[in-house]
Amino acid sequence: MIIFLRQIHRFWILFLILFFFVLFYPVFYITSRNSKWYGVLNFFRKTYSFFCSFFAGILFSFHYEENLNKSQTYIYCANHTSNIDIMILCVLAHGKFHFMGKDELLNNPVLGIFFRTIDISVNRESKISAFRAFKKAGENLEKGMSLIIFPEGRIDDHYPPKLGEFKNGPFRLAIEKNIQLVPVSISNVWKLSWDDGAKYGSKPGICDIYIHKPIDTLNLSTENTELLKEKVFTLIDSKLI
């Protein structure tokens, strides 16, 4: 009975995602055509994410170690256990921001419009694709666009999920561009909806998100990439359930 109810809730979330996407599509389409409108696009992405989660009964509780500067450019690094993570980061981030994600998202019926415009897709099996993606991300950071990335690169196949090994890319980029890096621990969202919810369904509840103090990379060199990666891994892992 519980599994049945969780599956009903999952289909309700899918309905909300599609319903609000159709509702917001005209403004998504218009504001994604030109980079000067990306700030407006992200405002509506944030609103869209809030509506979807709110009407699904999934609320976000943000715990800040230190308040973030809304005008600052950051690289947000978060653990990844659910498709809801994308909504969480949309609500969390400010101003002009963009995601980096797997190239399969180009064909996603909802996320595809963003990954063909503002966001960056990458084939993680291709070094050339990864190089081009991080080069583009670097250019966007120089323009003041914050980057949101899940350094694990994927959702863990095991349940309950554990924090997976991080890729070097975002940490090297943070050092090269002298961008502050914000570790984000999404601690319990997998209990509400793991991955896309297909196997265990989903349920209403409160997601606890811990935003760690931004890490300054000003005095770091690329030789410190591994140390920075380990530091961020430890911080994120310390707040997971």
- Could you write out the DSSP letters of every residue in 197-234? STTT-B--EEEEEEEPPPBP-TT--GGGHHHHHHHHHH
**Cα maximum dimension of the chain:** 56
Tell me which architecture the domain covering 2-238 has in CATH.
3-Layer(aba) Sandwich (3.40)
The pTM of the full predicted model, rounded to 2 decimals, is 0.95
Look at residues 111, 88, 87 and name the one whose alpha carbon lies nearest to residue 101.
111
**Domain locations in the chain?**
2-238
Q: What is the pLDDT along the chain (241 residues), one digit of tens a residue?
A: 888 999 999 999 999 999 999 999 999 999 999 999 999 999 999 999 999 999 999 999 999 999 999 999 999 999 999 999 999 999 999 989 999 999 999 999 999 999 999 999 999 888 899 999 999 999 999 999 999 999 998 898 889 999 999 999 999 999 999 999 999 999 999 999 999 999 999 999 999 999 999 999 999 999 999 999 999 999 999 999 7
